[in-house]
Structure 1
């Protein structure tokens, strides 16, 4: 389990202007073992962040990725795990370097997840 001080690094990454501008406005909720999202004061876990001890980050997308999206992420050297149908999430794993400098392909997929969760056309 990460300490609150270590979680601050994740908050800086996820609340950066680049991510909010690209994906959409959201804040973090660190009350669970994972880091969830809050929009307008309500839980909106369209993405869930799960930091690991080695500095990597697992992101669970509330989205079933298409084959083209999986290929796009794979070509960007992002590890895409199998869709978990029970939890209805598509997990991806970022390395420490990718967390510090998120690839554009990842930001595009996060935007799709945000839009689909809130049914934005």
Structure 2
């Protein structure tokens, strides 16, 4: 859902499973005692009406994030209600939170040369038990 209304009371089905994105964001950013400051999460919203949108959470400087799905959903809802910035231009919404137009290939182009890790359930094990 890159544009439109995000139903906060029905994140699992009424919002195109945005609940999964929110849980992944929470798992990446939050610890039991605060925020990870060495993490950047980029969500790619590609479904629903409107062009693709990216939302970036920068753990090193973000403020105002609470460990609750509806809180993060509210942040996303506010962002998708705003006009979409041009592809490649990150517009800051609040400290550590920004959004931009673009799809996955745009992000991969921006990260060219940076080490990337793709998680694959069918990949060989990284270590032996």
TM-score, reference length from structure 1: 0.33
The answer to which structure has the higher helix fraction is: 1
- Return the index of the structure with the highest Cα Rg: 2
